[in-house]
Structure 1
Amino acid sequence: MKTILLNLALLSVYSCAQTGKPHSKTGSEISQDTTDILLQRQQKRTMTTDQLKAEAKKRNIPYRKETGGKIYELQGFDKNGNPLYYSTGDVQK
């Protein structure tokens, strides 16, 4: 009787230790998964050209402008809602 109870106890410990999921991902696969998640988040935050043009019109700010020999184009907004522009070097005249 003691042997049966001991075997049942060992069986229950062994079965609880099994997760049912093998750990087969390598470090590079985990790294790729993380990269994919970050790219998806970035794409959600990145506005399309049409969205930027619509937002610029709504805020009454230029989407694209030329000032002082440089061309500026709206690329997005910072966390405070301020517009972010990329600019070129001096424009050839």
Structure 2
Amino acid sequence: MEKNRHFFYVLECKDGSYYGGYTINPSRRLCEHNSGKASKYTRTRTPVSMIYVEEFEEKGEALKAEYAFKQLTRSKKEKFLCEAGERNAQSEK
């Protein structure tokens, strides 16, 4: 039996705002957001691009990451994304 995969993701919207969410299929979810079928928030802010994805083994952990991100101020969200990008760049070396 294949294990479920759970993802926390961040979108950057057309207006420069960020949207954090949860999904089990990031590529499908991105298509849903860009077609206006995913969330009321992104419906008027398309196109959106997925700028961050993190996989978790447990759904609850992914939902906790989403909640924590949504509690951050704009500047702290930018810092989180910057640090995540730096960690990703280091792990690719």
- The structure with higher relative contact order (CA 8 Å, sep 6+) is 2
Which of the two has higher C-alpha Rg?
A: 1
More strand as a share of residues: 2
TM-score, scaled relative to structure 1: 0.21
TM-score, scaled relative to structure 2: 0.21
